[in-house]
Structure formats: C-alpha cells, structure tokens
Amino acid sequence: MTETRVPVPTLERLAIYLRVLLDAHESGIQTLSSQEIEQYSGISAAQFRKDLSYFGEFGKPGVGYSVEALIERIERILRLDAEQPILLVGAGNIGSALVGYPNFQAHRLRIAAVFDNNFVKIGRPFGDLIIEDIARVREVNAQIGARLGIIAVPAHAAQEVADALVEAGVTGILNFAPTILRVPPHVHVRNVSFLQELAVLSYHAVEDALRVNGQARRGGKDGV
Amino acid sequence: MTETRVPVPTLERLAIYLRVLLDAHESGIQTLSSQEIEQYSGISAAQFRKDLSYFGEFGKPGVGYSVEALIERIERILRLDAEQPILLVGAGNIGSALVGYPNFQAHRLRIAAVFDNNFVKIGRPFGDLIIEDIARVREVNAQIGARLGIIAVPAHAAQEVADALVEAGVTGILNFAPTILRVPPHVHVRNVSFLQELAVLSYHAVEDALRVNGQARRGGKDGV
DNA sequence: GCGCAATTGTGAACGCCTTCACAAACACGC
DNA sequence: GCGTGTTTGTGAAGGCGTTCACAATTGCGC
Ligand SMILES: NC(=O)c1ccc[n+]([C@@H]2O[C@H](COP(=O)([O-])OP(=O)(O)OC[C@H]3O[C@@H](n4cnc5c(N)ncnc54)[C@H](O)[C@@H]3O)[C@@H](O)[C@H]2O)c1
Ligand SMILES: NC(=O)c1ccc[n+]([C@@H]2O[C@H](COP(=O)([O-])OP(=O)(O)OC[C@H]3O[C@@H](n4cnc5c(N)ncnc54)[C@H](O)[C@@H]3O)[C@@H](O)[C@H]2O)c1
C-alpha cells in the first residue's frame, strides 16, 4: 500500500460496495467473499480485490471479508465516518426531491442548509429547513463548515452560484445544471446529466433494434 | 470510418458537444473550430476530433465545423433526430422533477407515459399526463412503442419494474434506484446515483482539505 | 498437527481510451 | 495561380485501468 493515486472509478465502486455491504449487514450476514460481492454488486471479484488493495489488506484468505469491519473501513476512506454537511442551492424540483431523500442519512450525508435567490421562497420551510438567501451563503457556512455543495439552479445561474459556494469554502460540487463550471483547481466538480444518460441509451437502444430487425448486414463481429 | 465499435465515453461526450452546439446556434454562431469547442466544453480539441472521426469526416480544414450541420449529424447519431418516447415508472419525487423538466424537449426526448402501482395515484394527473397502472405497461407501450424507460421507484421494487419494462419492449433503462438490475443482454442500463457522486466528492473534498492544512508531507506530484 | 479446500493480495499482461503530432485540405490575399 | 496560415483527420505512442493468474495465507476436519 504505497499511497498511489486512487483511480476515480475505484472510488465510484467503493460507494457501490458500501451499499451492498450495508444491505448484507442489515440481513445479518457477517462475512462475504469477493466472489459473493461480485454476485451482489455486478463488479468482478478481481476488481473488488484490486480496488481494496489501494487502501491496504483487509480480508482473510479462505474466509473473506468481515462485513462490519469493511463497512467501517470504506466509510473511513470515503470520509463518511463522520457526518458530512452539505449546502444545497436551488429550492426547485430537484432540490425538493433531494431534501426529502431519506437515504442520505444512511451515508451520514446531511443537507445542512438550503439557499435560493427568489424572495418569495426565502424564509419558507423546505423539508426540515428554512430557505435562506444565497447572498448569505458565506456567512451561514462559516457556522456549518460544509465542504460539499449541490447546485440545482437553472444553467444561467450555475456559474455564479458555483463561485459563491467556492467563496464559502466548498471544495466539492455536485452540479445538476447543464453547464461546464469553471472552478479553482482545488475544487472538484461532478456533473449529473439525465439528458446525457438518456442520449447514450438512445443510441444503444435504437442501434440494437436495427440489428434485431435482421439488418445485421455488416458482416462484422456481433459483440454485446 | 470502418464502423468500429464506438467507445461509450465518446457517446457521453457527443451529448456534451450537442449542448454546446445548440447554445452556439442559439447565439447565432455559424462555425466553430475544435479549438473553440474545447473552450466551451472543457473537452480537448484532439478528443473532439477523434470522437467525431468514429462517424466520418465532417469539418473543413482551415475553417472548422458548421454548427447547424454538426447538430444535425450528432442528433442523427444519437437517434435524437426523431422524437424518442420514454416510459416513466414511479410518480414520486424524482418522477415529479422529470415530468416537469422542459429541457427534454430540446433533445426530442418526451415522457410519453407515467406509471405507478399506488391505487391512490393511478388516474390522477401528473404533468400533462395521467398516471397509469404499471400492470398495463405492456398494453400501453404497444401503442407508444417506446424503447427507453426510466425507473424512479424504491429499490425493492426496481427489479420487478425492470422486468415489466423489458417485457413491454424497452431496451434502454435509466435507473434511479440504488440496486443492480438484472436484464437480458440486449437491454442497456445506466444508473444514476447521487449518493455515489457525493461519496466520490466527499473523498476528494476532505482529502484536499488535509493537504491544504500543511500536511503535504508526501512529496508526490500535486496534480489536479 | 497436518493436509485440503477456499480465498486473498498483487505483479504482470492486456486492452482500451486519450494524447500527440503531422500530413493533407482548405481559405484567403496578392 | 501560388504561397501562407489555419484547421482537420488519423495513425502511432502513451497512459491508465481492468483482467489474469498464481503464490501465499487461513480455516477446518480428521
Ligand atoms: N427537473 C429535472 O428533472 C432536471 C433534470 C436534469 C437537470 N435539471 C437541472 O437542474 C437544475 C434545477 O432544475 P429544477 O427543475 O429543480 O429547476 P427549478 O426551476 O425548479 O428550480 C431552480 C431554483 O433555483 C433558484 N435560483 C435561480 N437562480 C438562483 C440563484 N442565482 N441563486 C440561488 N437560487 C437560484 C430558483 O429560484 C428556483 O427555486 C436546472 O439547471 C436543470 O436544468 C433538472
Ligand atoms: N428523492 C431523491 O432525491 C432520490 C435521490 C437518489 C435516488 N433516489 C431513488 O429514486 C427512486 C425514487 O425516489 P423518490 O424519492 O421519487 O421515491 P418516492 O417514494 O417519492 O416515489 C416512488 C414512487 O414509486 C411508486 N412505486 C412503488 N412501487 C412501485 C411498483 N412496483 N411499480 C410502480 N410504481 C411503484 C410509489 O407509489 C411512488 O409513487 C428511489 O429508488 C430512490 O432511492 C431518490
């Protein structure tokens, strides 16, 4: 374990393993082999073991992995071992879905404050919270100390909101707006784009349909 | 252009290019070089050209790409040149956000029907639609002929819904539930997981914070 | 205590995507 | 028409993550 840079795909998979492990824990399962993890997660056993190897040894040969201990370990790696406060900006459709989402809790993620710039909305309750003025984001986060922020505002407002979040001390942004955000190098951004996902599916769904309809005329290989 | 298999990352980027091009078109821009696309999209010019090269030649050396023509071309590639009907299952929080989302239209994606299994909800209006019984999904899609489906139901119901969608002729599924779906090989699934995204951000956000706090003891390279 | 079966951890091979770099193509001005 | 400057398209190189394969480790039954 020589602390090489951890591939992002590995981190993404860690979150999946964690979900599987939490489910297993719920079911009273105490030990899981990489083979079984493959069953539940759809990720190959070899990949699982390789992923974990970035962070040290953990399983027992001939036995597998202690579910409970592995949960703790992954939570520590992902910094989900202590509660992570999150700032949400945009009290609209997406924002609504997020504040009411109970699964955050299981990962110790908590939306700690909601902001908007619509004076009609500011001051109103939103889930358990009161919508605050985005102009006060810095001030409010001085109390909270959140490092994570979610942008759920229209695209044209996303960049200024991002700037405000960075100003307020946020170093990780989950962006729902369809725009490229410009942020300082120490800030990480991940974009969520349903349209992009659907576009990829659209390509595949119809491509396959064409093939099925007896149009496999191109004598090529017929992979997946 | 020898019809090699197109990398999935290329398809994902095509959707990004499309958005940039639509914006440019809106602004009256007629021509764009790969260099300029890099500016707007954050994706390198070389990558852009390579991506397009999977589908044939298109730009003019010394000039760039015709915005309008390229939009048409990418739309055709992604099968967004004709309207794509979509089946939405789950008239809850996520479902609500989706039915009201206006941007789908710009990509010719249209939610053509909404399903639920809650008798209280079935028959009620939902956006422009009436919520239908999930039991009738096959029957309804015989009319619509949708190839794309969105799953926005609780995790424990996701698999049965997926089965029903596949039965109804869907070959591409966008899944919001935190579960691995088992589907036949001709069906494509893409998962959307906010928790996973936040977990990755959590790792980075705090890792960087540790480094900034003078703990850059590991003399490694300080990339992004 | 010892052999057998199961399972881990990881170097190495592999494959795929990205990046590089440059010849070919085009516009434009003279 | 021809030289100059720009930009494309794409083979080749490079980098990075995944898959493979196996030695090492542990539990368990006898
Ligand atoms: N609704 C969807 O299904 C969906 C899907 C994919 C992406 N998105 C994207 O997510 C974002 C939010 O979508 P939505 O449907 O929740 O939009 P929405 O219009 O319902 O909500 C946006 C909220 O942001 C607030 N806002 C606007 N400018 C602001 C600013 N400068 N500072 C703070 N708050 C501001 C508005 O007052 C509003 O409450 C959009 O960028 C949208 O493109 C939405
Ligand atoms: N709300 C969020 O912010 C959020 C975030 C990430 C993921 N998700 C996931 O998205 C999914 C939907 O979330 P939500 O907040 O919209 O949930 P929700 O409870 O608001 O809505 C779920 C809907 O699905 C319906 N349903 C249940 N079983 C069904 C079945 N067998 N067939 C048809 N319909 C059925 C319910 O009646 C309900 O209307 C969940 O899996 C959730 O984990 C939600």
Would the CATH topology of A8-77 be identical to that of A84-192? Answer: no
CA of A182 to C1' of D8 (A): 28
Q: Sign (positive/negative) of CA torsion B158, B161, B167, B168?
A: negative
Kind and range of the H or E element at A29?
none
Task: Decide: CB of B149 under 7 A of nucleic strand D.
Answer: no
Query: What is the band of A179 on the pLDDT scale with cuts at 50, 70, 90?
Result: very high
**Measured between alpha carbons, how far is residue B28 from residues A78, B21, B22, B66, B106 in Å?**
45, 10, 10, 12, 17
pLDDT per residue over A133-168, tens digit each? Answer: 999 999 999 999 999 999 999 999 999 999 999 999
Closest CA to B177 of B196, B199, B151, B200: B151
Residue owning the nearest CA to atom 9 of ligand 1 = A177
Query: What is the band of A128 on the pLDDT scale with cuts at 50, 70, 90?
Result: very high
A19 pLDDT above the threshold of 90: yes
Residues of chain B neighbouring A107 (CB-CB closer than 8 A) = 195, 198-199
Q: B80 near B109, Cβ under 8 Å?
A: yes
Whether B154 has its CB under 8 Å from any CB of chain A: the answer is no
- Name which of B78, B86, B93 is nearest A203 (Cβ-Cβ): B78
Interface test with B, best of A201, A211, A224 (most B CBs within 10 A): A201
10 Å CB burial of residue A164 (0-12, 13-18, 19+) is buried
**Measured between alpha carbons, how far is residue A19 from residues A16, A60, A163 in Å?**
5, 21, 32
* pLDDT value of position A212: 52
pTM: 0.91
* pLDDT value of position B216: 40
- Positions of E strands within chain B: 31-32, 65-66, 84-89, 109-116, 125-126, 129-133, 148-151, 172-175, 188-191
- What's the gap in Å between the CA of A98 and the closest CA on chain B? 8
Whether A96 has its CB under 8 Å from any CB of chain B: the answer is yes
* pLDDT value of position B209: 60
Strands B109-116 and B84-89: parallel
- Whole-number Å distance, alpha carbon A157 to ligand 1 midpoint, is 9
Each residue's pLDDT tens digit in chain B (224 positions)? 444 589 999 999 999 999 999 999 999 999 999 999 999 999 999 999 999 999 988 888 989 999 999 999 999 999 999 999 999 999 999 999 999 999 999 899 999 999 999 999 999 999 999 999 999 999 999 999 999 999 999 999 999 999 999 999 999 999 999 999 999 999 999 999 999 999 999 999 876 665 555 444 333 333 32
CATH superfamily of A84-192: NAD(P)-binding Rossmann-like Domain (3.40.50.720)
End-to-end CA distance of chain A: 36
* pLDDT value of position A59: 85
- Domain locations along chain A: 8-77, 84-192
Whether A212 has its CB under 8 Å from any CB of chain B: the answer is yes
CATH of B8-77, one of 3.40.50.2300, 3.30.2320.50, 1.10.10.10, 3.40.50.970: 1.10.10.10
* pLDDT value of position A205: 82
CA of A206 to C1' of D13 (A): 35
* pLDDT value of position A191: 96
Question: What does the radius of gyration of chain A's CA atoms come to, in whole angstroms?
Answer: 21
**Torsions phi, psi for A197 (to 5 deg):** -60, -45
* pLDDT value of position A38: 96
**Measured between alpha carbons, how far is residue A149 from residues A11, A95, A97, A129, A141 in Å?**
19, 12, 16, 16, 11
Closest CA to A19 of A32, A6, A1: A32
Q: A127 near A111, Cβ under 8 Å?
A: yes
pLDDT per residue over A44-98, tens digit each? Answer: 999 999 999 999 888 889 889 999 999 999 999 999 999 999 999 999 999 999 9
Kind and range of the H or E element at A13?
helix A8-26
